[in-house]
């Protein structure tokens, strides 16, 4: 499903951003979009959060459904 793949990409982006914050104290999203409180950064953070919530559903799907994708 396309939404699953988009969500996984966004979750990976979020994980890499949090990793860079944890390891290097560098927020890549904020750097790209003009600070943590800028509208574009907040949109990206919100999309990553929604993608993470969507990915929770992947844990509860039947395995047969996942293999047919």
For the chain, which residues make up each domain, given as ranges?
2-67
For residues 30 and 40, give the distance between their C-alpha atoms in angstroms, rounded to a whole number: 9
pTM for the predicted model, two decimal places:
0.83
For residues 41 and 61, give the distance between their C-alpha atoms in angstroms, rounded to a whole number: 31
CA angle 69, 53, 2 (to 5 degrees): 30
Mean pLDDT in the chain? 92
Reported as a pLDDT band with limits 50, 70 and 90, residue 64 is low
Residue 11 and residue 48 in contact, taking contact as beta carbons nearer than 8 Å: yes
pLDDT given for residue 36 in this prediction = 94
For residues 47 and 43, give the distance between their C-alpha atoms in angstroms, rounded to a whole number: 6
Residue 43 has pLDDT above 70, yes or no: yes
Q: What percent of the chain has pLDDT over 90?
A: 81
Higher pLDDT, 46 or 61: 46
């Amino acid at each position: 499903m396309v939404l699953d793949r988009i969500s996984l990409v966004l979750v990976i982006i979020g994980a890499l951003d949090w990793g860079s914050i944890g390891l290097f104290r560098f927020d890549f999203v904020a750097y790209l979009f003009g600070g943590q409180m800028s509208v574009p950064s907040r949109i990206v953070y919100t999309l990553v959060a929604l993608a993470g919530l969507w990915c929770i559903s992947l844990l509860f799907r039947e395995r047969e459904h996942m293999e047919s994708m």
